[in-house]
Amino acid sequence: ALPERAQPLQLLPATSVTSGAASVPTSPRGVEERVLLSFASREPSALRRRLRIAETPCELRAPLLWSSRLCCSWGSVPGAAALGSMAYTMSPSPAAPVGSQYCVCKVELSICGQNLLDRDVTSKSDPFCVLFMEVNGKWVELDRTETAVNNLNPAFAKKFIIDYHFEEVQKLKFALFDQDKSSTQLYEHDFLGEFSCTLGTIVSSKKITRTLLLGNGKPAGKGMITIAAQELSDNRVITLSMAGRKLDKKDLFGKSDPFLEFYKPGDDGKWMLVHRTEVIKYTLDPVWKPFTVPLVSLCDGDMEKLIKVVCYDYDSDGGHDFIGEFQTSVARLCEAQDASPLELECINPKKQKKKKNYKNSGIIIVKSCKITRDFSFLDYILGGCQLMFTVGIDFTASNGNPQEPSSLHYINPLGTNEYLSAIWAVGQIIQDYDSDKMFPALGFGAQLPPDWKVSHEFAINFNPRNPFCSGVEGIQYFILLIITDGVISDMDETRHAVVQASKLPMSIIIVGVGNADFAAMEFLDGDSRVLHSHTGEEAVRDIVQFVPFRNFRNVPKETLAKAVLAELPQQVVQYFKHQNLPPINSEPA
């Protein structure tokens, strides 16, 4: 017999009630276990479980749940009416920076209106759009568009630019008004309607068209708003392969130890160092390793802008000897091809002035120059990538008797438990990136009726049918959230499973609840080392993020979400790069 922590819970026979899209078991006896929240109603008792501690211990296998067999419904984020009304009295003064310090990128939002309400008697409305973001439960004005005179179908030239944070729920409100006066106070203008959503909803769809609502939640006539998102970043990178020929000899008893430095003009008119190559020892004909730098770093994205390349002879005391330099542009460097390298003279201006027969101090050869795109997480999301979310929940007896307040499955009438908090923290973010918002929920470590055998993978609503819809456009990337209070009893098999999964489009998030020793879980999180299977095979990439819930018990739930999802964007990008898969409809460099 294994220790008590490995004992399963026993699920009692259940009847069914319906909640959202899932058939949910309940029971006339036992204690209530709310496994998942209904996001639409936010009613903690939307889903219930009746559990009791099993008396017979049973061996458990590693809680890695690869398949998806049950769906529960994630409701959409509430609209303007549910989020509460506001008095439009704010001035358009610039708001303080909103969001965390770790910004993924900037997003540009383009706004168009269709069939807006006509509030003017002798002409049509003169609409403008105001953008608000919810901060600490209050709507804060971020920006306004220009006014479109006498136009019920405006396409605003002014764009909204927002810092995008994947790991945060960024609630936005777009409100349209008919300008009647020169006042900056919004209550002085006629209200034409509003629409609320999250920034994640917009970027996951790239372009959305929605009905405008009045303050009472009713449609604003036939008024519609269209919002289109575009990432504001130059993701082009330049890869250069450089060599030298017949460089000047600088060392008394040897040749030279050359290296290159690349500069671009700074805002102050001075040259700014961008990149330095490695040093090639004892040669006048060096061949440097190919290197890659962001195009915006090398030339601010302007391929015609002058850049300067300087060649030095390395000295260990830091007093490097100047060999020569030249100025060029990225456009000129791009003339180099594998079969036709570009040769540029390396000039020493002092020697050039002193010596009449001076030609150069050697030749710098551009063997190849390639510009490609270094696609970001948002590029894949805007390209149609869907994040498919699966929950795995630990039902082993180490969670404690759910009738007792000390149990990790105990539901306090005044709050939630750590399982629910972890599901909520991840789910409220991921829901924006799944088109049907249907998420499989699986359990492990319980005895199931009617034969009371221990199951290491079962559908929480006892409906094992595959819930996923067919025909979802774009690429699918899978996220498995495992919530557990125990340690791993078969580490070799678990390591092997994670290494194999690193080749697949998936990430594993493990949230440890309770106060157990989670050293094994932290070992799977390959932040500081590459994970190996027991056979020695290396993981292709780090796909595991482990977070102990106890570190976040007394902080806002948003903090847990940031920690849990911090590595996910990078893991998504790493997979698609490894598979050499660009985003759908991506533009060439």
**131-167, pLDDT tens digit by residue?**
999 998 899 999 999 999 899 999 998 899 999 988 8
| Beta pairing, strands 105-114 & 160-164 | antiparallel
Residues in contact with 416: Cβ distance below 8 Å, sequence separation at least 6, in sequence order? 34, 37, 44, 424
| Beta pairing, strands 506-512 & 544-548 | parallel
**Alpha-helix runs per DSSP H in 136-207:** 199-205
The answer to whether 170 touches 199, Cβ cutoff 8 Å, is yes
CATH number of 236-373: 2.60.40.150
Q: What is d(CA 108, CA 505) in angstroms, rounded to the nearest whole number?
A: 28
Q: What is the pLDDT of residue 97?
A: 34
Q: What is the pLDDT of residue 170?
A: 93
Instruction: Tell me the longest C-alpha to C-alpha distance in the chain.
Output: 103
Give the other-Cβ count within 10 Å of 333's Cβ.
Answer: 22
| Domain boundaries along the sequence of the chain | 58-74+378-579, 105-232, 236-373
- Tokens 């006539």: give the residue: 221
The answer to whether 562 touches 170, Cβ cutoff 8 Å, is no
Return the structure tokens found at 171.
């609630």
Phi, psi of 341 (to 5 degrees): -70, 160
Q: What is the pLDDT of residue 111?
A: 94
Q: What order of strands is seen across the sheet that includes strand 50-53?
A: 31-32, 50-53, 9-11, 446-448, 453-455
Q: What is the pLDDT of residue 168?
A: 87
- Tokens 């996220």: give the residue: 479
Q: What is the pLDDT of residue 104?
A: 62
CATH topology identical between 58-74+378-579 and 236-373? no
Q: What is the pLDDT of residue 311?
A: 97
Q: What is the pLDDT of residue 84?
A: 32
Residues in contact with 87: Cβ distance below 8 Å, sequence separation at least 6, in sequence order? 187
Closest CA to 273 of 310, 318, 302: 310
Phi, psi of 547 (to 5 degrees): -135, 120
Judge: domain 58-74+378-579, CATH 1.10.860.
Answer: no
Q: What is the pLDDT of residue 279?
A: 94
Q: What is d(CA 484, CA 5) in angstroms, rounded to the nearest whole number?
A: 11
- Which CATH number fits the domain 105-232, given the four candidates 3.40.50.300, 3.40.50.920, 2.60.40.150, 1.10.1040.50? 2.60.40.150
Return the structure tokens found at 442.
């699986």
The answer to whether 312 touches 322, Cβ cutoff 8 Å, is yes
Low-confidence ranges of the chain (pLDDT < 70): 1-104, 461, 463-475
- Tokens 């994970």: give the residue: 531
The answer to whether 444 touches 392, Cβ cutoff 8 Å, is yes
With 0-12 / 13-18 / 19 or more C-beta atoms within 10 angstroms meaning exposed / middle / buried, residue 414 is: exposed
Q: What is the pLDDT of residue 475?
A: 61
